[in-house]
Amino acid sequence: MTIRRSLRGLLGAALAMTAAGAPAQETDPALIARGEYLTRAADCLACHITEGGKPYAGGLPVKMPFGTLYSTNITPDKETGIGNWSDDEFVEAMQQGVGPDGKHYYPAFPYTSYTLMPREDILAIKAYLFSLEPVAQPNRENDIGFPFNQRWGIALWNLLFLDDERFEPDAGQSEQWNRGAYLVEGPGHCGECHTPRHLLQARSGSRALGGATIQGWAAWNITGDEQSGIGNWPDEALASYLATGVAPGYGVAGGPMAEVVNHSLRHLTAEDIQAMVVYLKSVPGQPADVRRPENKALANEPPADSRHPLGQKLFADACASCHQWDGSGRQSDYASLRGLRTLNDPQGLNLVQVILNGDALHGPSGHHLMPAFSRHFNDREVSALSNFMLAHFGSQPGDLTPEAIAERRLQAR
């Protein structure tokens, strides 16, 4: 009887295997659906796709202070992807940053946040990824010089900076707060971009979510500070920003944050978005250099006098038709410029990025595109336009030079 049962079990397991070799649990529709939701919450697609490339096939360059990393293929292809990975190997990669070959991943892969995720959530993600069509795309070699290409050093880094602990709910907080804390700190890994890093590239725990610069973009302060954070944002404004990428008078997502909205946040439930709002609004405030601009009573017409006449002319020719002179935006809140920290940053980090490279947001009302002007405006024109916009819409005028714009063009290559 025991032998017969064992044979039936082995036969059942064999029949449950798919052509791609996926275990039976990975063909469960409910598990796959849950894994898809968690994969979006973890924003995996944003890093594991290139422009015009296939989803999850990797190849995206990630510029770091020590070189360029390339994201890997995480489709179930057995030769170039993760098709041969066991459950334990996948969990170890997500929680400890170690691959099946024993090599340590660079913490640009946010396993330092994913480590908070329990095994069952991680295996749900694996089930979804294994349900996808395999893509045969070899992984690119990282472009990193000595000594940073010595991965054994990451093992020491992990001993210093990886907690390797799962999320534990705070009994003193509500279920909603705990759900938000899990999403923000775990799969959402918000701190990976919004927390500054020290010399050894670990996050500064004392300045968690206080804002940072990443790949030439400002990831704003998202603590409860009322001047430079989100402390004075109404709950509905913050919820709208997370779910749609826009909160009129407070923020419009751009660059990497627009990608987070496009690939991740807009797919979350209203309940999860609200949970994130509750948690973020509870984070102790930390001051930062860039604040929301002071309210200005701007007329919807060109200013009579400007310190930046060339910039004003360029704004009139290329920008005013969409954004309007008072920054209210024509027909769409996505074109609104009022109240944006982007327009109150003397360095103009995000402003220059958007002018040069354009931007795109996928919202409930459709696809919203900001065209790139990198080929149309020279360095003198970009600096003039940026300085005009900072002076006109912000309260901390910038003094960007053509030389600074030229340097940023080079850094973006």
pLDDT in tens, 93-105: 999 999 999 999 9
CATH level 3 topology of 175-282:
Cytochrome Bc1 Complex; Chain D, domain 2 (1.10.760)
Is-same-fold flag (175-282; 309-412)?
A: yes
The answer to whether 190 is a known ligand-binding residue is: yes
State the pLDDT at residue 59: 96
Q: Are 217 and 353 in contact (CB under 8 A)?
A: yes
In words, the CATH class of domain 309-412 is mainly alpha
Q: In this prediction, what percent of the chain has a pLDDT beyond 90?
A: 81
The answer to whether 308 is a known ligand-binding residue is: no
- Residues 6 or more apart from 309 whose CB is under 8 A from it? none
State the pLDDT at residue 150: 81
Quick check: 4 pLDDT over 80? no
Q: Which of 309, 53, 43, 71 is nearest to 189 (CA)?
A: 43
Q: Are 110 and 162 in contact (CB under 8 A)?
A: no
The answer to whether 319 is a known ligand-binding residue is: yes
User: What's the chain's average pLDDT?
Assistant: 91
Mean pLDDT, rounded, for 366-387: 95
State the pLDDT at residue 153: 85
Mean pLDDT, rounded, for 294-309: 90
The answer to whether 44 is a known ligand-binding residue is: yes
Measured distance CA(127)–CA(38) in Å, rounded: 11
State the pLDDT at residue 26: 55
Quick check: 6 pLDDT over 70? no
Q: In this prediction, what percent of the chain has a pLDDT beyond 70?
A: 93
Mean pLDDT, rounded, for 77-95: 98
The answer to whether 322 is a known ligand-binding residue is: yes
Measured distance CA(144)–CA(391) in Å, rounded: 40
Mean pLDDT, rounded, for 23-52: 89
**Confidence tier at 14 by pLDDT (50, 70, 90):** very low
The answer to whether 189 is a known ligand-binding residue is: no
Rounded to 10 deg, the angle between the 379-393 and 402-412 helix axes is: 110
State the pLDDT at residue 243: 97
**Confidence tier at 295 by pLDDT (50, 70, 90):** confident
Quick check: 19 pLDDT over 70? no
Q: If you compute the radius of gyration of the chain from its CA atoms, what whole number of angstroms results?
A: 23
pLDDT in tens, 272-291: 999 999 999 999 999 999 99
**Confidence tier at 205 by pLDDT (50, 70, 90):** confident
pLDDT in tens, 316-344: 999 999 999 999 999 889 999 999 999 99
pLDDT in tens, 131-146: 999 999 999 999 988 7
The answer to whether 263 is a known ligand-binding residue is: no
Quick check: 269 pLDDT over 50? yes
Q: Are 243 and 270 in contact (CB under 8 A)?
A: yes
State the pLDDT at residue 124: 98
Cβ atoms within 10 A of the Cβ of 184, count? 22
Where exactly are the structural domains of the chain? 29-161, 175-282, 309-412
Quick check: 399 pLDDT over 50? yes
State the pLDDT at residue 147: 75
State the pLDDT at residue 27: 75
Q: Judge if pTM exceeds 0.85.
A: yes
Quick check: 8 pLDDT over 60? no
Quick check: 68 pLDDT over 50? yes
Quick check: 17 pLDDT over 60? no
Quick check: 121 pLDDT over 70? yes
Quick check: 7 pLDDT over 70? no
